[in-house]
Amino acid sequence: MTLKDIQKQFIDFIYSNKEFSSAKKDIISPSFEDSMMIYRRHVWFSLINTLETHYESVLNLLGDKLFLKVAKEYVSKHPSNTPDLELYGFKFPEFLRKNKSISRYSSDLATIDISYVKASIAEDFEINTFQEFQNIKQDDYEKIIFHVNPTNIICNLRYDVIHYFEHIKSTQKDKTTPQIGAHENIIITNRNSDNNIQHQNISSLELEFLNQCNKGEKFINIFEKLYKIDQDINLQKILSKLIENQLIIKFTIN
């Protein structure tokens, strides 16, 4: 029996509860089943605990019992493939979306929950302020390239869950739980320069602005593209929002 054989059978037992066949003969224990269950419980506990931590508002929506049931199902189908426990469970929103037996809002709530986690661990950045942008000469406008916040996480939601999410996160809870509405919206979550995680609704036009920035398009080209979509576009208003909320963090003049 090689180390590879032992380790493969251990993993199969831990995740799939497969019988510990040939490797069992090599094991000495006063109680084989108890020994193996200690290891199995440690692993499952860590992963379920991580899901509970990452998805606080979903846990609140579903309740402890139902969340545990769903979390166990998730773990059985998604063994961890990362050494960093913080990165476990990022496919949970998608998993919830496919699960017809639970609340249809849970997937959208999970999307917001994990967007906060992703924003909190994303890379650091430096910023330019809106004041600095306003100091740019008009002649240089066509040369500006905007750089988006690397911690921006875009959430396309089917339901308006954000007030429920805020209610769960708030330390001062109102007496009544907010209702969840059924309308599509786009929320963008990011981390600002004070290391606070924040979110805001953005319009499809604002999202398109950010998409064009990501492609490295110059300001003038972005304006032309957006003007074709909406001739009443208020670019000043859009830019002010994107820069002041640090959805755009830097600009360079090329």
Partner 1 sequence: MIKEIAIPKKAGIGLRSKHHQEILETTPDIAWLEVHTENFFAKGGSTLNFLEKITNTYPISFHGVSLSLGSADGLNKEHLVHLKKLIDRFNPGLVSEHLSWTSYNGTYTHDLLPLPYNKEALNLLSNNIEQAQEFLGRQILIENPSTYLAFKSSSMSEDDFINSLAEKSGCAVLLDVNNIYVSGNNNGFDPLRYKIDKKHIKEIHLAGHTFITTSKGGKMIVDTHDDFVCSDVWKLYENTIKYTGAVPTLIEWDDKLPTLQTLLEESQKAQNIINIYDKQHDTQRHTETVY
Interface with partner 1 (CB under 8 A): 1-4, 6-8, 10-11, 14-15, 25-36, 38-39, 42-43, 46-47, 79-86, 88, 120-125, 151, 191, 195
Nearest to 57 by CA among 126, 106, 91, 123: 106
Give the DSSP per-residue string, 150-173.
TT-EEEEESSB-HHHHHHHH-SS-
Q: Specify the residue, 2 or 138, whose C-beta has the smaller distance to partner 1.
A: 2
Is the separation of the CB atoms in 91 and 113 below 8 Å?
A: no
Q: Specify the residue, 191 or 218, whose C-beta has the smaller distance to partner 1.
A: 191
Q: What is the closest distance, in whole angstroms, from the C-beta atom of residue 9 to partner 1 in the complex?
A: 10
Q: How far apart are the C-alpha atoms of 106 and 96, rounded to whole Å?
A: 7
Q: Specify the residue, 1 or 253, whose C-beta has the smaller distance to partner 1.
A: 1
Q: Specify the residue, 24 or 163, whose C-beta has the smaller distance to partner 1.
A: 24
Q: Specify the residue, 79 or 178, whose C-beta has the smaller distance to partner 1.
A: 79
Tokens of 109: 């709530």
Q: What is the closest distance, in whole angstroms, from the C-beta atom of residue 25 to partner 1 in the complex?
A: 8
Cα separations in angstroms, 211 against 129, 162, 225, 226, 247:
20, 23, 12, 11, 11
Is the separation of the CB atoms in 219 and 145 below 8 Å?
A: yes
Q: What is the closest distance, in whole angstroms, from the C-beta atom of residue 112 to partner 1 in the complex?
A: 18
Tokens of 74: 């998730």
Q: What is the closest distance, in whole angstroms, from the C-beta atom of residue 38 to partner 1 in the complex?
A: 5
Q: What is the closest distance, in whole angstroms, from the C-beta atom of residue 219 to partner 1 in the complex?
A: 27
**C-alpha angle 162-91-36 in degrees, rounded to nearest 5:** 125
Q: How far apart are the C-alpha atoms of 89 and 14, rounded to whole Å?
A: 17
Q: Specify the residue, 83 or 179, whose C-beta has the smaller distance to partner 1.
A: 83
Contacts of 231 (CB under 8 A, 6+ apart): none
Q: What is the closest distance, in whole angstroms, from the C-beta atom of residue 1 to partner 1 in the complex?
A: 6
